[in-house]
């Protein structure tokens, strides 16, 4: 079984300090949180950024500063989000791809997101996919429901994605696929042979789905973007605390945790010196 890739999703676009007062917001805070997660075993940092008022933004300069500060502290893979905030046009969401990060997300369908709608028309999906391709970025295909897998495979047929693909199953968002083990098994069985995958369980789904993924040979995403609690009614102290639990659980289950360069090798990416 491959070593486990742990992704830390530090902030997202929806979580606030009312949800958890330990939420990192500024580029400096994000870099410190990334470093702490890296120390605990995270090899990928899934990156959203916020403006000076703490609101989600796709501002290139803010992304560039956060990436620079993270790279100064550790060798983790920085994976930028092209999701941005609900309602942004795809061109704005794709702006940070010009920074040529190692990885970026690509959501391949529209999904109800609580009371909002995370809109991804064919135009949006193809526009972002082309920008990812043109900038030489490794895509992670974000899946909120099973039909999005078919949409990703259409992009393969059109030459906009190149197998083997790496999927991230975001499970438990109100409006998306439920965060159950049965649904996870269905998603894993629906992707092409040779693909890799991770799971991001939302809220209470985080820990059980992560445990199953470790056993099944998949990979795991945790962090304040997905869940602000450590246990029922107890808020997590940091993103790193959530990462450390997954690394500890993997050790108990006999699965080694990948370093960033080992993660790069598993994902078919260039290894850093």
State pLDDT tens for residues 252-261: 999 999 999 9
Report the percentage of the chain scoring pLDDT > 90. 96
Report the percentage of the chain scoring pLDDT > 70. 100
pLDDT at residue 157 greater than cutoff 80: yes
CA angle 154, 119, 239 (to 5 degrees): 100
What's the pLDDT band for 272 if we cut at 50, 70, 90? confident
Mean pLDDT, rounded, for 136-157: 98
What's the pLDDT band for 264 if we cut at 50, 70, 90? very high
The mean predicted confidence, pLDDT, of the chain is: 97
pLDDT at 106: 98
What's the pLDDT band for 23 if we cut at 50, 70, 90? very high
pLDDT at residue 84 greater than cutoff 90: no
pLDDT at 85: 75
pLDDT at 76: 98
Give how far Cα 120 sits from Cα of 107, 155, 157, 208, Å: 7, 14, 19, 29
Mean pLDDT, rounded, for 30-40: 98
What's the pLDDT band for 86 if we cut at 50, 70, 90? confident
- Spell out the domains of the chain, with CATH numbers in brackets: 6-266 (3.20.20.70)
- CA-CA distance, 218 to 214, in Å (whole number)? 6
pLDDT at 205: 98
pTM of the model: 0.97
| pLDDT tens digit sequence for 119-133 | 999 999 999 999 999
pLDDT at residue 44 greater than cutoff 80: yes
- CA-CA distance, 141 to 123, in Å (whole number)? 16
């Amino acid at each position: 079984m491959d070593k486990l890739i742990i992704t830390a999703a530090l902030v997202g676009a929806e979580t606030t300090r009312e949800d958890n007062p330990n939420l990192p917001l500024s580029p400096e805070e994000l870099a410190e949180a990334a470093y702490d997660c890296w120390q605990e075993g995270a090899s990928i940092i899934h990156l959203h950024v916020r403006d000076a008022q703490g609101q989600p933004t796709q501002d290139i300069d803010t992304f560039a500063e956060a990436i620079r500060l993270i790279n100064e502290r550790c060798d983790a893979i920085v994976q930028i989000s092209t999701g941005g905030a609900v309602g942004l046009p795809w061109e704005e969401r794709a702006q940070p791809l010009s920074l040529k990060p190692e990885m970026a997300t690509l959501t391949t369908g529209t999904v109800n997101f609580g009371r909002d709608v995370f809109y991804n028309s064919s135009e949006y999906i193809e526009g972002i996919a082309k920008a990812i391709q043109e900038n030489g970025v490794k895509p992670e295909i974000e899946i909120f429901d099973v039909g999005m897998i078919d949409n990703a495979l259409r992009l393969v047929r059109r030459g906009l994605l190149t197998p083997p693909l790496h999927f991230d199953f975001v499970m438990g968002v109100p409006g998306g696929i439920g965060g159950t083990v049965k649904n996870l098994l269905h998603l894993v069985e629906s992707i092409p042979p040779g693909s890799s995958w991770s799971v991001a369980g939302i809220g209470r789904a985080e820990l059980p789905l992560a445990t199953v993924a470790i056993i099944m040979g998949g990979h795991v995403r945790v962090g304040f973007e997905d869940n602000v609690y450590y246990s029922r009614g107890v808020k997590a102290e940091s993103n790193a605390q959530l990462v450390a639990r997954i690394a500890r659980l993997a050790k108990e289950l006999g699965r080694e945790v990948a370093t960033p360069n080992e993660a790069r090798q598993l994902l078919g990416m260039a290894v850093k010196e």
